[in-house]
Every structure is written in C-alpha cells, then in structure tokens.
Amino acid sequence: MTVLWADLNAPGTYKFSDADFLPQFGWNCYDDDSNPSDQRCDSPKLKALLRAQGDQPDPDRNKDDVKLSKRLGDKDVARALRRTICKFPSEWDRTTISQRYHWLNEMEYGFKDHPDDWKRFENHLKAITFEKLPQAYLDAQWHFHPTEFIKLFRKCGWLDQNTFARIYPKTQDSIREKYRIALNTAMRKYRIVTPLRQSHFLGQGAVESGSLNDMQEKSMSGTAEAVRIFGEKINPASAKSEADLGHWYGKDAGENDPWFRLEKYNSKGIRITGSYSWVNGNCGDEDAIKFRGRGFKQLTGRSNYADYWTYRGWINLDDFSKNWWDDQQYKLRNVKLMTLKPAEIVTPQEVTISPYNCIDSGGWYMIFCPPESDTFYR
C-alpha cells in the first residue's frame, strides 16, 4: 500500500473549504452585467447558459459564449444555474424601485404610454418591500440559489452552542463553550461526521468525562486496607486542575493517593476496579497515579499514553521498547532489572492542560484504539 502525505503548511500552499465556492465544484461568480444597478439580467455569460442550444446562431454571442453553450448542452443548463453566484441589487429595497425598474417605462411594450399601470405596479412593489434594511444586507449583493446554498451548508456538520446545549443540558454554558471548538475540530479531524459516529463519540465521551465536567479521573478517600480501599467521598485534592498545580497530581510527596494503587470498592463494599499499579504498562505505584484517566475518553495507563505521545510526536518509537510489559522482570514487578525500556512520559498532564488535547486524545483513542471485535470504527 502506498501512503502519500501532503504538507498543508508548506510555503505557497493554499487551503480551501466548501465555503470558498470553488469553480472546480461547479460554482461560478457572474458580475459582467452591463447595467448592474437595475433588475434585468444582462450578463453575457448567463445569457449563454440560458440560450445553450448548441449550434443555433445568435449574433449577440461571442465565440466564448458559443463554446460554453456547446459544452453545457440543454440538459446541463439547470444544473449549471444551480451553482451560479450572481451580483444584483436587493429586490427588497423600497428606495431603489425606480432605479431598478426604470427600463419598464422605456421599452416599447412597457409602461411609457400607461402611467396608471406603472403607478399600480410601483404601489405593489412598495407593499412587498422594506423602507429600511440593514446596511450589511444592502451591501451583500452576491446572491445564491437558496436550495443549493442550504444543501451545501447542511454538509458542514459544525455543531453550534444551541446544539451542544441539547447534547449536554446539565453542563454549564462556560464548560460547554470551553470545549465546543475542540469537539468540532476533533470530529472533522477524525472523520466523525455521520450521526451514528457522532452519537458514539459524544455519548461515550459524556460518560467518561461526566459530560465535560471531569477531564481527569478523581479519587476517593475512605477506609484503606493492605490491598484495597473503600471509598466514602471524593478526594478534593484529586480534582484540582493540574495546570494550576504546575505538575501532575501525585508528583509531590504530600500528594500520595492510595486510591489509584489499591483495589477499589465503594462504601457499600461493591468492587469498582482493581489496582492501576501493574496494568496498562504501568511500572509500579507511582505510575498508578501518574497515568490516571485524563481527557474526554479518560486515557489511562503508561502504554496508552505512550501511543498517544508517539502519535503527537512528543516522543519517538526509538525512545522505548515495544511491549515492555512482556519483559519477565516486569511480570516479577522488578523494574530495575528490566531489559526492555518503558516509554518515558515526563508530563502526563499535557492531556488536560488544553481543551484541544483533552478532546483530541479522545478522538485519537476512538479511531486508533477500538476493540478488535467492534466493527463500528472500521
């Protein structure tokens, strides 16, 4: 399989979106009207589209118009017109009625000999127009086919504030807004663009992150025994922002938290999960807290952190041994005698210090680390 890469940040490289209305996708701007201030269509190029009758002679058409007509053909005229962007004044402006329709008083079969008819026509236009329109609306003289414009922007998929309010109704506005752009960016980046994929991504992330409120795994304080702990209430120290701490929680001696290294039970004695100390590539008790769950999908364990760090280019594959947890000394829980080298992650809090990293780690995990039996992602 051949893999091709394109550097979109290279000098001289330009990036476009559907909102740029590129001619390559059938969009064309027409501003060649000989009298753009009135309501008539006097664009030679548009006339060529409307007259596209192949070889019928027309003295008003130049060679380019004829070529365009022949290329389009009758059956393609409607399709081509759907993506025309034309420049003409607003038909809703009451102050420009005379300017836009003066030609009706000049043409042979117009109103020049019927002033009463013109007056009735003018009154009709006044009844369906507006005396005062926003200046921005008046300045926007480029016009689209409405249904084609709607069809195009329905493809956008960018979720707005109101949509996120419906998805996470119990989350504060400020929290939703903090992650809104990052969520939209991640869904574009990882092609999570269908309703099914988005519902999985946003729904699973809601469960893992407490609907955006908990981007780092909290611990519980309670009765601790030799190998297990019975949680009674949330430990507030574990909820503090690591960006504010300036280091990963647990690095300082005063932040020793037994919850992560012991088998976890709730206050009713129901088992929650086991110790983090020697799973997911963690090398002992320090790793249990160092590589706790973080981000939208609660990235957990040194091995998962190593994969994401490699993906982001923060470490290299040559910096550590593949599957270091298969080392016999790892299985004996003797890190010092290991010959395979674990990945070195100095600042695991990178996941939580920015909204982008919080969400991006979740998007990466959803796409690149799915369960083997799950065909949804493939």
**pLDDT tens per residue, range 284-310:** 999 999 999 999 999 999 999 999 999
Number of H helices, E strands in the chain: 16, 7
pLDDT given at position 370? 59
The answer to whether residue 163 scores a pLDDT higher than 90 is: yes
Q: Contact 215/298 with Cβ under 8 angstroms?
A: no
Phi, psi of 39 (to 5 degrees): -95, 5
Going from N- to C-terminal start, the domains of the chain cover 18-153, 158-209, 220-368
Q: Contact 355/243 with Cβ under 8 angstroms?
A: no
**pLDDT tens per residue, range 108-132:** 778 888 889 999 999 999 999 999 9
**pLDDT tens per residue, range 314-360:** 999 999 999 999 999 999 999 999 999 999 999 999 999 999 999 99
CB-based burial label for 124 (10 Å; 0-12, 13-18, 19+): exposed
Q: Which residues contact 3 (CB under 8 A, 6 or more apart)?
A: none
pLDDT given at position 54? 45
The answer to whether residue 262 scores a pLDDT higher than 50 is: yes
pLDDT given at position 375? 36
Residues 68-92: what's their mean pLDDT?
Answer: 74
User: 71 or 283: whose pLDDT is higher?
Assistant: 283
Give which of 223, 259, 222 is closest to 238, Cα–Cα: 259
Q: Which residues contact 300 (CB under 8 A, 6 or more apart)?
A: 217, 276, 280, 291, 292, 293, 294
Q: How far apart are CA 364 and CA 185, in angstroms?
A: 12
**CA 154, 160, 166, 167: dihedral to nearest 10 degrees?**
90
**pLDDT tens per residue, range 171-225:** 999 999 999 999 999 999 999 989 999 999 999 999 999 999 999 999 999 999 9
Q: Contact 172/346 with Cβ under 8 angstroms?
A: no
Q: How far apart are CA 248 and CA 346, in angstroms?
A: 9
The answer to whether residue 377 scores a pLDDT higher than 50 is: no
pLDDT given at position 234? 95
pTM passes above 0.85: no
Q: Residues 237-244: contacts with CB within 8 Å, 24+ apart? A: 239/214, 241/352, 242/216, 242/349, 242/352, 242/353, 243/349, 243/352, 243/353
